[in-house]
Each structure stands twice: as structure tokens, then as C-alpha cells.
Amino acid sequence: MPGRTVQPNPAPPRPEAEPDEAFARRAIRAEAEAVARVAALIDGRFVRAVDLMAATADAAGSIVVTGVGKSGLIGQKISATLASLGAPSQWVHPTEAAHGDLGRIRRGDTLLALSYSGQTDEVTALASILRQDGADVISITKGAGDSALERVSTVALAVGDVEEACPLSLAPTSSTTAMLALGDALALAVARRRSFTPDDFARRHPGGWLGDLLRPVLEVIRFRAGENLPVVSDSLSVRAALEAAAAAGRRPGALVLVDGRGALSGVFTDGDLRRLILDDPARLDAPIASVMTRSPRTLPASALVRDAVALIREARQDEIPVVDPAGAPVGLLDVQDLVAMRVIRE
């Protein structure tokens, strides 16, 4: 009737919800159980997959990764991990592949195809085309044994029939976590098989925090022997050694001392000098060898920044001499060099 307002039915009362903390723990446990189930499924098929992927990389081929939806996103991460660990890889969307991106894939490449159900039409179609062209296909599915993708695969890997952490299995959660864990295991195993080294990693990560940690120490030190780092004989007195260092201009927070052969014998820090003056100023005329810190911790000239960070954290030493294979000092790393790079905090 005109003028009548229809009142909506009241919503039914909600049952008391599970606390967020308890729900989160249950969700994480579900995903952890899925990963544990993957570990239990590792067998000879995994080794065969590593064989194919390592052989592809050794032959300068590419490991092409594909998937749709959440599986596709996981595939992109796996592809990035493979590439960063020395195995050339690219991600291709299976639909785009059918519209021209097949040209990205060359003879000798290997396809890593992700589909939890194993029945994703686009992924299966791409795998079938490449198999007909003689390419190897490695699939990651739940492992029902008779899915379309498994049937066209050279090697079919499985994550198992996992229970999704998402209520009512509305979104892939545990299954994609399991796929990611298996993909990471493949990437790591391929890198291990191909003897991938920290130097190889450094060449692929020149930027950012990781890149800084993998830079040679000699690239980042400010004080270098023969330039702006005084190298003083340990046969001098404390006073004479300080005068010799002052004549060289601006100096670091420690004197670098050498023996008669030119090898590092010790350091004398600003803190050592303060303690000496407070305790017994007359000892300024004593041989510096009698008050220096003997055999300090050092870094080889071949060390990386990460080695310096580890040593500073372990030894709590603010100045670290850098020496050549004969033990002669070539530079001095100051903790402030690393603070300026933001790889360590004061």
C-alpha cells in the first residue's frame, strides 16, 4: 500500500565467533601440515625432475613455468627463485601462450606446469602442445593419478590431497603453500646439483641489501694502505707512532702496526690511547709494541661485506684490518663504513 514502509527481516544472531588468534593458529597449522605431507611424498620422481631441469639449464635452455590464478602466482615466484639461483627461467601465462607467446619457448626448454586439480584446460593445452614438439613437461598437481595434466607429463609431481586452510575451501591456501614449498625444493636442488656458489649469487644480485652484502670488502673501505691509511712500524714509541700517523693527515680510529717484515703485528686504537693517558701518561714514550693489541681479528682481501658484518657482530671490534695473503695490511674497515651502507646498525 502507498506510504507503507516494509521492514527488512532481522539478521539471525551470529554464534560466538572463534577468537582471531585461535583461528590464525589453526590456519597456519593446516598449511604446515600440507607442507609436511609434501615432504613425505618426495621420491624418485623428484630426482627425475631435478635431472631434467639441471640438464635444461646446463644446455642453456630455459625452465618455463606456467599456471592459472593462484597457481600462476606461485609459479611466478618459483620462476624468479630458479633464475636467481642460476637456472634460466621465465613465466608464461598459458592463455597468452596460445595467442603468440609460444614464441618465447624454444626447443630444449622444459615446462613446469602447476595445476592443483590437474584439469585446468589452458595449462593442459600448453603442456600437450609442448609435449608434441618434444619438450619435457614437469607437472605439480594434487596427484590423483589420472588427471589430464598428469597424463601428458614427463614427470608428474604431487602435493597430495590437502585440506585448505580457507573455510569451506573457498580459496587456494594450503595447496598453494604446498606447491610453493615443492617448487622451492626443486629450485634449491637444481642449484645444488649445478654447484651454484655465493659468487654466482652475487653476480645475479648486484642491487639492494643482498647485493651490498655480497660486495667485496675492498670496494667499500675508506682507508687504504698507500693512500690514506698510515702503516706504522711497531718498533716506534707510542709518541713517535702518533706523530708519524699525524703527518699522513686524517687518520682512522686505529693505528695499523707492522713488524720488520711488513706483516700486520697489531693495532692501537683511540680507546687504547685514552686508557694509556689516564693510567700512565709517561708510557707515551714506551714502545708501542708493548701496549698495542696484538694479533687482532682480520679479514682477507678477498672477503665480502657479509663476512665483515659477521666478524663485527662476533668480535665486537670497530676497526678490522684487511690483509693480503702475506699478512700485510691493505686497508682498514671501520664499522662506520658498514653503518653508512645500512647493512649494520650502530
Considering the domain boundaries, does residue 206 fall inside one?
no
Domain span at residue 331 reads 217-341
Considering the domain boundaries, does residue 202 fall inside one?
no
Considering the domain boundaries, does residue 318 fall inside one?
yes
Q: What is the pLDDT of residue 206?
A: 55
Considering the domain boundaries, does residue 4 fall inside one?
no
User: CB of 85 within 8 A of CB of 192?
Assistant: no
Considering the domain boundaries, does residue 122 fall inside one?
yes
Domain count of the chain? 2
Residue percentage of the chain with pLDDT more than 90: 53
3-state secondary structure of 282: helix
Cβ-count burial 244-268 (b if 16+ within 10 Å, e if not): ebeeeeebbbbbbbbeeeeebbbbb
Cβ-count burial 73-103 (b if 16+ within 10 Å, e if not): bbbebbbebbbbbbbebbbbbbbebeeebee
Q: Are residues 255 and 326 in the same domain?
A: yes
| Banded pLDDT at 16 (limits 50, 70, 90) | low
| Banded pLDDT at 337 (limits 50, 70, 90) | confident
Considering the domain boundaries, does residue 106 fall inside one?
yes
Q: What is the pLDDT of residue 248?
A: 67
Q: Are residues 180 and 89 in the same domain?
A: yes
3-state secondary structure of 333: strand
Q: Are residues 137 and 280 in the same domain?
A: no
Q: Are residues 284 and 243 in the same domain?
A: yes
Q: Are residues 69 and 140 in the same domain?
A: yes
**Is beta strand 63-67 parallel, antiparallel or unpaired with respect to 89-91?**
parallel
Q: Are residues 231 and 315 in the same domain?
A: yes
* Mean predicted confidence (pLDDT) in 127-140: 95
3-state secondary structure of 175: helix
Measured CA distances, 223 to 64, 202, 213, 300, 339 (Å) = 47, 24, 19, 15, 15
Give pLDDT tens digits for 178-217. Answer: 999 999 999 999 999 999 877 766 666 555 656 677 788 8
* Mean predicted confidence (pLDDT) in 306-314: 83
* Mean predicted confidence (pLDDT) in 259-285: 88
For the domain that residue 123 is a member of, what is the CATH number? 3.40.50.10490
* Mean predicted confidence (pLDDT) in 293-309: 88
Q: Dihedral of the CA atoms 188, 189, 192, 194 (nearest 10)?
A: -110
Q: Are residues 295 and 226 in the same domain?
A: yes
User: CB of 229 within 8 A of CB of 329?
Assistant: yes
Considering the domain boundaries, does residue 160 fall inside one?
yes
Residue percentage of the chain with pLDDT more than 70: 88
Spatial strand order of the sheet with 329-334 comes to 223-224, 329-334, 319-323, 299-300
Cell numbers representing residue 86 in the block: 642460476
Average pLDDT, the chain: 87
Tell me which of 196, 227, 248 is where a domain ends. 196
Q: Are residues 30 and 146 in the same domain?
A: yes
Q: Are residues 163 and 307 in the same domain?
A: no
| Banded pLDDT at 1 (limits 50, 70, 90) | very low
Q: What is the pLDDT of residue 282?
A: 84
* pLDDT for 46 beyond 80: yes
* pLDDT for 11 beyond 50: no
Residue type, 251: R
* pLDDT for 280 beyond 90: no
For the domain that residue 294 is a member of, what is the CATH number? 3.10.580.10
Quickly list H helices, 42-159: 44-58, 69-84, 94-97, 121-132, 148-151
Q: Are residues 161 and 225 in the same domain?
A: no
